[in-house]
Structure 1
């Protein structure tokens, strides 16, 4: 496993395990298996409805807490300073933990214009030592600029949809300038077209790897944190087996040329669902 040092000095595994759309009762065996095969970073969220299942897997694993990196998120309906603090307490109780390593705002929900005060609640949790680091998800440059101007703590990560067909180049550049790490969800485009791309398949054949492994390797070499999701044990292991090969500069350039601005999920400016 490779780790990335975040802007507050915290070390975070560069490849983690996501549990989006995994029901609570399935989250426990899925996370147990992920931990068994070597994952140490687990990404959940209040809205996923599986924090209890994730927490049970953590408790049953026997792995020392300090060896794990646990992320959860505050949902749009809990925006606001006091609401966020209450939501964090609820998430912590469901997870059965004393602290989380990373707490994120799930969406800026700009229609409600509460993400700044929500982030200030995250800052309190961070200063109180109840979270090791704080950050955001699905924030565009305009949302990040407001936080940088109105808040004290620079987000450690911005978790966004990112894959070869949606490379977020301008946003990545802005984040790099401000020492914010981009974390990719849907790094394999939810198993859609990108896995069948002829360029990627050609690179995969050369390295005797799968298309998914090539894409994950591309993310890693781009300095991005990735959280692929799979409940299939063989895929979990396959996704983790990406540290024994390297893409050439030419291969990285070929993948960089695939960008189509093809988005599977909502635009941050339009996602205001409570």
Structure 2
């Protein structure tokens, strides 16, 4: 079992379809070391992420110990039942989670996964807890390092789960964008309990932020693009963004931010933008 620390940025593979292998290989050859996928054929090709990883291992680009791999359990409500499902939908939630995780290991060609998250809360909080507890058993077996939750915007539910799980929640992956006020309430809970907050729709969901005069001024002052500035703010604010760009230039720009230290930190302009985003 690897003790790998989560990277500051993850490569997101949603909606990549048949290009998934090509794009994951491109991202890792450029320098990404974390990848996010899901056992959900509706939006992800987890099997092609696995094909990319095996190719990268075979070429010696990276070793398994260099790579942070994250996948998800997606409940039946998030699956397309006209597609081949990763588990028997008639089985119990416990068995669905077990079957889904075994499918993930097979798809990825791995014997352990660094992180597994519930793709969204289930229909009841008790069902969500049951699914999480099933994943806890794989942590006990050394097959998972981190457990987490995705698409959880109910602060009370998050706090209830924090109080009732045995294996600490290590990850929350949510939309972080202007239409939900950048999810600050959940972000604050994550900071309090030492949970790593991962963001998606970080750029595409915040066109107003990318045009904000304070952000534009920061970008100009420090020689960054507006997109790089948002990613750098995420670093400062303890957020791990998912970058799903299919363009090598944008991939390289994102990675340049991941390696940059000292830029923007503790500047009055950042505090002003923080205040504006919280108003």
Bin for the TM-score computed over the shorter chain: 0.7 to 0.9
What is the aligned partner in structure 1 of residue 263 from structure 2? 246
SS of the equivalent of 2:182 reads coil
Instruction: Give the one of 156, 163, 167 matched to 1:149.
Output: 163
Q: TM-score, normalising length from structure 1?
A: 0.85
Aligned equivalents of 1:49, 1:224: Cα separation in 2: 23
Query: Against the structure 1 CA distance between its residues 220 and 164, is the aligned structure 2 distance closer, same or farther, given a 3 Å change threshold?
Result: farther
Deviation, structure 1 residue 182: 1.1
Aligned equivalents of 1:154, 1:10: Cα separation in 2: 17
What is the aligned partner in structure 2 of residue 99 from structure 1? 112
Q: Work out whether residues 43 and 72 of structure 1, in 8 Å CA contact, stay in contact via their aligned partners in 2.
A: yes
Matched, 1:159 2:173: yes
Larger CA deviation: 71-80 vs 207-216: 71-80
Which digits, 9 at most, give the CA deviation of each residue in 1:141-196, with x for residues without a partner? 22222222322111111111114673322222222222212111122134633322
What is the aligned partner in structure 2 of residue 70 from structure 1? 69
Aligned equivalents of 2:209, 2:29: Cα separation in 1: 29
Matched, 1:259 2:258: no
What is the aligned partner in structure 1 of residue 83 from structure 2? none
Matched, 1:204 2:219: yes
Aligned equivalents of 2:218, 2:278: Cα separation in 1: 19
Unmatched runs of 5 consecutive residues or more in structure 2:
77-88
Q: Show the 5 A alignment for 1:166-245.
A: 166-190=181-205, 192-242=207-257, 243-244=259-260
Q: Work out whether residues 10 and 133 of structure 1, in 8 Å CA contact, stay in contact via their aligned partners in 2.
A: no
Matched, 1:30 2:23: yes
Unmatched runs of 5 consecutive residues or more in structure 1:
1-8, 262-274
Deviation, structure 1 residue 225: 1.3
Which digits, 9 at most, give the CA deviation of each residue in 1:28-68, with x for residues without a partner? 11000000010000011122331111111111113210100
Larger CA deviation: 116-125 vs 150-159: 150-159
Aligned equivalents of 1:143, 1:112: Cα separation in 2: 7
Larger CA deviation: 70-79 vs 58-67: 70-79
Aligned equivalents of 1:122, 1:255: Cα separation in 2: 39
Instruction: Give the one of 25, 30, 44 matched to 2:37.
Output: 44
Query: Against the structure 1 CA distance between its residues 230 and 109, is the aligned structure 2 distance closer, same or farther, given a 3 Å change threshold?
Result: same
Deviation, structure 1 residue 258: 3.6
Aligned equivalents of 2:212, 2:14: Cα separation in 1: 24
Aligned equivalents of 1:258, 1:41: Cα separation in 2: 31
Q: Work out whether residues 178 and 206 of structure 2, in 8 Å CA contact, stay in contact via their aligned partners in 1.
A: no
Judging by fraction of residues, say which structure has more helix. 2
Which structure would you say has the larger RCO, counting Cα contacts within 8 Å and 6 or more residues apart? 1
SS of the equivalent of 2:194 reads coil
Aligned equivalents of 1:161, 1:49: Cα separation in 2: 17
SS of the equivalent of 1:216 reads helix
Q: CA RMSD in A?
A: 2.1
Q: TM-score, normalising length from structure 2?
A: 0.84
Deviation, structure 1 residue 82: 1.4
